[in-house]
Structure 1
Amino acid sequence: MSSGKKMWSAALLATAVLAVTAACGSGSGGESADGKVKLRFSYWGSDARQKMTEEAIKKFEAKNPNIDIEGEFSDWASYYETLSTKVAASDAPDVITLEIRGLREYADRGTLADLASKVNTADIDAKVLASGAIDGKQYAIPTGVNAFSLLVNPSLVEGSGQKLPDDSTWTWDDYVDLASKITAKGGGKVTGTQLSWNPAYLQIYAAQKGESFYQGNKLGVSPQTIKDWWAIMQNLIKTKGAPDAAKSSEIGATSIDQSLLGTNTGAMGMWWSNQLGAAAKASGKDLDLLRMPKIQGATTGGMFLQPAMFYTASSKSEHAAEAAKFIDFMINDPEAGQIILSDRGLPASSKVLAAVKDKLPDADKKTLAFLDKVKGELADPPAAPPKGSSATEDILTRYSEEVMFGRMTPDDAAQKFITEVNASIAG
């Protein structure tokens, strides 16, 4: 996910939460000094996302002069820590942005309101909408859709004397080979690709082996699959197709605009498809999307459609109707869509997508064309994962780095990763 630049220290966060709690005492927005309804809206992202969101908020306020929206923006790294602290202090924002892996956790806490029939969802694909439902209640409305994909800079690939792959047939061995050749011809200035620890990558690879990422409240990925997945990364490091462990760890903690692809020092990388625009803007180059490579002989590519994020409402909001009205605006109003475009995924509302598709930047038009091309291959959006799964990425990153640095064997790391994730999601 894209990240901003603001970081809250624990002390500042605690002070802010205590101050807001003391001032409101209600766990929601309340009223402004002029008698208007005040709603608090939490979200994460880049500076660019903050700017466009504030513009959309102003548009909503102009149409609803009795409602003030107070945006509570943070960078990705601190978002859930900040949100968790507010929820624990009975100070949840009225409208909360969540991603799918945090959805069940907050729904099970009783934090979220059921939005069924409160927000117009007639123009959202039923399978996409279902990903925001838990136990028959529509706790979350998807903002837009995307797919975890491989992003590529064609000019750097071709500048190294290589050709873009046929992504309908290429394998992981082809990927490693291409990356290593790009580095070899890069003159020390260009690396083939960078490593990714995103669970979506492992989920795609596991699906190619016929395995589900989760099976109920247990991890469904086998130790052998995890070890084989790490072997791809080890081969990339060994062949210099990707940076060494130290550099990979360093750049893995940065946003996409600071990535190898974003700084024109790497030809490929894996991100969500809605991040193509941010990468293209950072690099100043024309970038493309490719299907993920496949295991030789795999009957499925493993890629899947997923909501980029969701809008949810606090179950304790004093202004539930107004919160639902704001969510409806952000999802269904073409004017909001023309501001936000594909920043939160290609719009989930088919009417909004139709209204904005001709106005999308070139990179977003590429994203739309790519998803249209591969939609018949994509698995349905997954259901919300088990409670506690929001910790999976951090756990996966930690053990992946242990293996890449050679501090732990793949056998030991795979077993410990599975044990730790299963403990986290046991419920």
Structure 2
Amino acid sequence: MKNKRIVSAAMAVLMAGSLAACGGSSAGSSFAVSSEAASSAAASTSADAPVTLRITWWGGQTRHDLTQQVLDLYTSEHPNITFEAVPSGWDGYFEKLATDTATGGMPDIVQMDYMYISTYAQNGSLADLSSYISDGTIDASGIDEALMNASNIGGKTVGIPLSTSLVSFTYNPGVLEEAGLEAPADGWTWDDFAAAAKTVKEKTGKYGMGGSPVIDTNLFNYWVRGYGENLFSEDKKSLGYEDDKITEDFFAYWLDLIDAGAVPNPDEYEQIATLGNDANPVITNDAAFHQSWNNFTTIGANAGNDTLKMVTPPTNAKNTKALWYKPGMFFCVSETSNVKKEAAEFINWFLNSDEANDIMMGERGTPASAAAREHLINSGNLTAQQQDMFNFVDTAAAYCGNTPAADPAGISEINTIFKNIGYAVFYGQTTPADAAAQFRSEVNAVLAANN
């Protein structure tokens, strides 16, 4: 409870744009260093003066190792630039970022998710990178317009998309074979998935799926879109669908699988989460499926399992085009950074250089830069999993609808509400119907207060 109070307090500071923790003025910015002052400081930095860039990202150990190699290479080519790296797992990443940001300690370069970028942009935490694009410091010409538009919030370009991602299901062919099951095909249904997950548990004792369906709202967003609805209203002030049966059915569906032992209960999942992505049950041959993004088979291969395959998520007959192309993640620059120019230069190099892409090899997803994609395809160095990741962007097109706007301000609190209510259902503390009504009430209150 203490940690939750700390995070809640930090997010409250963010939402309110409080200046108390930073000692700033009330004009123009939520933080001590104004945009003008930071830009001036960056401009005055000598090209040869020592610069330390603080950078943070989430991921597994493989991402940490590869990113550190990229940082080391950049320093070798730019001896005046050194990095203070702050890597993290996904769990707890945004709670810590909220606390750091509220106290004026946001790193210079921040790996940002589409789910949270609106929250940080609307609170003045992220620098406008438009000038660095217009003056050529950042070459964004090879990034699809729709992806770039995703980071244009309030008329400001607050992030540079690094990759394209789609919700996907990773499967372990060996575990399915052990259970006597055939591999799923695109267009399979939620009934197909439930039957397969239960069969895996019955035949092998292993999990049907080794993750949690309520760790955030991404899978639920896909579920809602499967009914032809939107998770959030256009003005972001309320949920975008009226029928609570949609939410009730989601909780009931996963409760059934958890009760069958085919999906981890909350206690089991929390233990799994401490091991990190690289030890995910589908990677360690202890589960048949994992719901993630289309780079997860590459993550699995980097962690030592090169047998994993990918399939589009189960479909709902009401709307088979529930998928959407999502910016995999962004690099953003903090408004408080005194070295914005140097941060922008590094982001450009990370995005577009052959050297950086030869190290990362699409670990963060299919590169957003067309030049990077072309280079990697022509290199002949892509693994089978990396080729599948690139191809998945095309094969999934038949199941894709319009890309929704970035998630609204308050999404961090909404995710916490969603997880807590989901866990209450899975622990038998409330019913799916009551949980659905509670979710609507609490989420609408958060949305109305923050948007």
TM-score tier, shorter chain, comes to 0.7 to 0.9
Q: Does 1:184 align with 2:198?
A: no
Check the 8 A contact 2:283/2:308 in 1, yes or no.
no
- Partners of 2:88 and 2:363 in 1: how far apart? 16
Task: Give the superposition deviation at 1:253.
Answer: 6.3
- Partners of 1:380 and 1:86 in 2: how far apart? 34
- Partners of 1:120 and 1:288 in 2: how far apart? 34
Q: Alignment partner for residue 359 of structure 1, among 370, 381, 384? A: 381
Check the 8 A contact 1:302/1:379 in 2, yes or no.
yes
**Who is 2:329 aligned against?**
309
AA partner of residue 73 (structure 1): P
**Who is 1:69 aligned against?**
83
Q: Give the TM-score, by structure 1 length.
A: 0.86
Residues 136 and 409 from structure 1, CA distance in 2 versus in 1: closer, same or farther, beyond 3 angstroms?
Answer: same
**Who is 2:344 aligned against?**
324
Q: Alignment partner for residue 60 of structure 1, among 63, 74, 80? A: 74
Task: Give the superposition deviation at 1:398.
Answer: 1.2
**Who is 2:278 aligned against?**
257
- Partners of 1:400 and 1:80 in 2: how far apart? 20
Q: Alignment partner for residue 406 of structure 2, among 367, 379, 384? A: 384
- Partners of 2:240 and 2:340 in 1: how far apart? 38
- Structure 2 spans left out of the alignment, 5+ residues: 11-21, 23-31, 133-137
**Who is 1:276 aligned against?**
297
SS at match of 2:208: coil
Matches within 5 A, 1:8-23: none
**Who is 1:90 aligned against?**
104
Task: Give the superposition deviation at 1:71.
Answer: 2.0
Residue range with higher mean Cα deviation, 128-137 or 299-308:
299-308
Deviation readout 1:225-254 (Å, 9 max, x if unpaired): 011112221232344433455434543665
AA partner of residue 212 (structure 1): N
SS at match of 1:338: helix
Residues 35 and 370 from structure 1, CA distance in 2 versus in 1: closer, same or farther, beyond 3 angstroms?
Answer: closer
Residues 76 and 294 from structure 1, CA distance in 2 versus in 1: closer, same or farther, beyond 3 angstroms?
Answer: closer
Residue range with higher mean Cα deviation, 314-323 or 284-293:
314-323
Residue range with higher mean Cα deviation, 257-266 or 349-358:
257-266
- Partners of 2:315 and 2:250 in 1: how far apart? 12
Q: Alignment partner for residue 121 of structure 1, among 140, 155, 159? A: 140
SS at match of 1:218: coil
Residue range with higher mean Cα deviation, 343-352 or 243-252:
243-252
SS at match of 2:401: coil
SS at match of 1:312: strand
Q: Does 1:415 align with 2:442?
A: no
The percent of aligned pairs where both chains have the same amino acid is 29
- Partners of 2:247 and 2:75 in 1: how far apart? 49
Matches within 5 A, 1:110-189: 110-118=124-132, 119-168=138-187, 170-186=188-204, 188=205
Check the 8 A contact 1:153/1:285 in 2, yes or no.
no
AA partner of residue 227 (structure 2): K
**Who is 2:58 aligned against?**
44
Q: Give the TM-score, by structure 2 length.
A: 0.82
Check the 8 A contact 1:55/1:339 in 2, yes or no.
yes
SS at match of 2:170: strand
- Structure 1 spans left out of the alignment, 5+ residues: 1-6, 15-20
- Partners of 1:84 and 1:183 in 2: how far apart? 39
SS at match of 1:150: strand
Q: Alignment partner for residue 199 of structure 1, among 203, 209, 217? A: 217
- Partners of 1:81 and 1:107 in 2: how far apart? 16
Residue range with higher mean Cα deviation, 69-78 or 174-183:
69-78
Task: Give the superposition deviation at 1:171.
Answer: 1.5
**Who is 1:3 aligned against?**
none
Residues 239 and 250 from structure 1, CA distance in 2 versus in 1: closer, same or farther, beyond 3 angstroms?
Answer: same
